[in-house]
Amino acid sequence: MAELKYISGFGNECASEDPRCPGSLPEGQNNPQVCPYNLYAEQLSGSAFTCPRSTNKRSWLYRILPSVSHKPFESIDQGHVTHNWDEVGPDPNQLRWKPFEIPKPSQKKVDFVSGLHTLCGAGDIRSNNGLAVHIFLCNTSMENRCFYNSDGDFLIVPQKGKLLIYTEFGKMLVQPNEICVIQRGMRFSIDVFEETRGYILEVYGVHFELPDLGPIGANGLANPRDFLIPVAWYEDRQVPGGYTVINKYQGKLFAAKQLVSPFNVVAWHGNYTPYKYNLENFMVINSVAFDHADPSIFTVLTAKSVRPGVAIADFVIFPPRWGVADKTFRPPYYHRNCMSEFMGLIRGHYEAKQGGFLPGGGSLHSAMTPHGPDADCFEKASKAKLAPERIADGTMAFMFESSLNLAVTKWGLKTSNCLDENYYKCWEPLKSHFTPNSRKPAEFN
């Protein structure tokens, strides 16, 4: 496949035409009486019409047929997609999952949509406030099927296998260690090339933004120009057997048939688009003297709540970096948090847990549930010589951190069969080193 082209920037006003149809974007207006090339004009609104300019999001699509050209939607099998947060009772324990198993294609062909599994979540879809964490486990490309989400935005974190994503705005190739965001309402279809796995953070009713930088200044963390937006690409393809449009609406799946590919947008302009980002481009900031900055310095994207500084969900990464802090216990500190912390591992070994937390697995530390380095990590880091050292080379762990209290689904706790019943044991060997009569560091045995 020829290398794909992208537009660079975050949240910009962009314009793109498929080069096969030069001049397909109307000049000077959005809604001509007749569009160039006799296309249909269609607006996709990602914010209320009346939002302030800084948060107002919409794009204009110029397409062969408008999206409304479809048969009625009908309810379909939900699979493992849910927004029922009361399937099982709450569980405050530290939870950890072994790598979620990908079905073998010889057993069952599963595409991205049929391979969606809701792991945990909170909030209310109907009032546009909340989130869900899904795991996708698939082995087959979506064939004459696309998906769109009426409930919220998908932040997709591939962990194994690359994703070729067809969208109404063009094509994106998203590989492990890259992420993409497909916002509410955007239709997409995913081709995969092997047994494929990844994580999805879905937020209802808000969009992801870059975090404010405060005293950090104008640059740093995820820089806007490293976000990549697809360029217009269309196919004028009839599908006599019917093309299936799958919609997640109020948490339920519906399907409608149409006779043409939905990727029939010849040109578009606007600031409401899908985008991708390579996590290698994250400019890491860290303590260069002593102690830890809180992990919020690793925030790539945030979906803000209405309360200042409090996120529905933050997407945070723990990238390769230098550890240089003097006189400091360098691994993550022991912690209890009013926020909920779901972690996943794209590759490598997470520094606070050398075993047990594996790529393709996950962990959930719920509100005020204690967590921190395992006993082995504590012992080693308490005695380590504090030279500058590389941390997390070849590793990419991430966190979805939320102000909501997450409920785990029945699939997460039982059906997936991946819950690690022994997780708590990693802290059992922690022992007291207290020496009431001496302030000097204890010698470890």
Catalytic residue ranges? 292
CB of 386 to Fe ion, least distance (A): 23
134 has binding-site annotation: no
Determine the interface stretch with Fe ion among 57-65, 228-236, 340-348, 414-422 (rule: CB under 5 A): 340-348
Of the candidate spans 45-53, 203-211, 301-309, 339-347, the one that interacts with Fe ion by CB under 5 A turns out to be 339-347
CA dihedral of 354, 317, 4, 44, whole degrees rounded to 10: 140
Q: Which lies closer to Fe ion via its Cβ, residue 335 or residue 347? A: 335
Cβ closest to Fe ion, residue 136 vs residue 357: 357
Q: How far is CA 341 from CA 185, 248, 296, 366, in A?
A: 27, 25, 12, 6
Is the CB of 294 or the CB of 443 nearer to Fe ion?
294
β partners of residue 191? 164
Of 133, 111, 108, 114, the residue nearest 122 (C-alpha): 133
Is 371 labelled as part of a ligand binding site?
Answer: yes
Least distance CB 389 / Fe ion (angstroms) = 22
350 is in an annotated binding site: yes
Minimum Å distance from CB 320 to Fe ion? 20
- Of 86-94, 328-336, 385-393, 429-437, which segment contacts Fe ion by CB under 5 A? 328-336
Verify binding: residue 335, Fe ion, rule CB under 5 A: yes
Segment interacting with Fe ion (CB under 5 A) among 114-122, 173-181, 201-209, 337-345: 337-345
Cα separation of 107 and 173, whole Å?
A: 27
Structure tokens at 80: 């493992």
**Which residue, among 356, 21, 395, has the nearest Cα to 177 in the 3D structure?**
395
Q: What is the dihedral of CA 386, 391, 393, 394, to 10 degrees?
A: 140
How many binding residues for Fe ion (CB under 5 A)?
3
In angstroms, the Cα distances linking 396 to 112, 162, 410 are 23, 16, 28
Residue nearest to Fe ion (CB): 335
- Which residue, 336 or 380, has its beta carbon nearer to Fe ion? 336
Going along 105-230, which residue ranges are E strands?
116-124, 129-138, 145-149, 152-160, 163-167, 170-174, 178-182, 188-192, 196-204, 227-230
Cβ proximity to Fe ion: between 229 and 364 the closer is 364
**Minimum CB distance to Fe ion, residue 392 (Å):** 16
Token pair, residue 291, equals 């102690």
Binding residues for homogentisate: 350, 371
Binding residues for Fe cation: 335, 341, 371
For binding to Fe ion (CB under 5 A), which residues are involved? 335, 337, 341
